[in-house]
Chains A and B, each alone.
Chain A
Amino acid sequence: SAVISQKPSRDICQRGTSLTIQCQVDSQVTMMFWYRQQPGQSLTLIATANQGSEATYESGFVIDKFPISRPNLTFSTLTVSNMSPEDSSIYLCGARPTVGEQFFGPGTRLTVL
């Protein structure tokens, strides 16, 4: 299984500002993903981070709000832009090192005041 780390683990931010979350995998992976999880709810896919090309966003999520980078096969960033209190959530990075299996980072708990 892949070991996935995320930074920061948590942050409290003011509305209107932006936060960049980093995800590092200990081995090269084909696919990386970004999810949002509201308290007590399931995981919602924000986008698939594609290495060498633009991320693929799910319905309801746009690049201007959630720009994503993936400069190589082990690293990705998600930026939450122009934050509002509605963006308060846990953001999880996912990675798929082999066919099928997908693992998650520890998550970033974001609170927007």
Chain B
Amino acid sequence: GENVEQHPSTLSVQEGDSAVIKCTYSDSASNYFPWYKQELGKRPQLIIDIRSNVGEKKDQRIAVTLNKTAKHFSLHITETQPEDSAVYFCAAWGRTNFGNEKLTFGTGTRLTIIP
């Protein structure tokens, strides 16, 4: 089945600087890669996603890049703000060994924006 690795596990960034979180996946058949933001005590919220036929996608201060050959994808947050502080999870959508489809999550990155 799919295996998703995520780095770093913690990241501290000065307000206004950029933050980058990286993930790798193992299953070349995976075709959809979402990113979730989870604030303390809240549900994971989908913030951006990318499909396998696209190399980059932007939404205001957030961007995601995908390199299918290398099987890695990254989240870029520019001009960081205190409200960006949260735990971020990457995920990959693919098939399990049983043939059903599911999201496999990375281990998470705790991002802290320093004012």
Chain A residues with CB under 8 Å of chain B are: 1, 31, 33, 41-43, 45, 48, 56, 58, 92, 94, 99-107
Contacts and interface: CB of A to CB of B under 8 A. Distances in A.
29 contacts: A1-B46, A33-B102, A41-B107, A41-B108, A42-B89, A42-B105, A42-B106, A42-B107, A42-B108, A43-B89, A45-B102, A45-B103, A45-B104, A48-B102, A58-B102, A94-B103, A99-B32, A100-B32, A100-B34, A100-B49, A100-B93, A101-B34, A102-B34, A102-B93, A104-B43, A104-B44, A104-B45, A105-B43, A106-B42
Given A56-B98, A101-B46, A102-B46, 10 more contacts: A1-B46, A33-B103, A42-B107, A42-B108, A58-B96, A92-B44, A99-B32, A100-B34, A102-B93, A106-B42
Contacts of B103: 33, 45, 94, 102
B100 interface: yes
A48 B44 contact: no
Indicate the member of B45, B93, B102, B104 with the most A CB atoms within 10 Å: B102
Nearest to B96: A58
B34 A56 contact: no
B79 interface: no
A99 B51 CA distance: 11
A1 B45 CA distance: 11
Contacts of A56: 98, 100
Interface in B2-61: 32, 34, 42-46, 49, 51
A1 B47 CA distance: 12
A102 B93 CA distance: 10
Contacts of B43: 92, 104-107
Contacts of B42: 106
B1 to A, nearest CB: 9
Nearest to A106: B43
Contacts of A43: 44, 89, 105
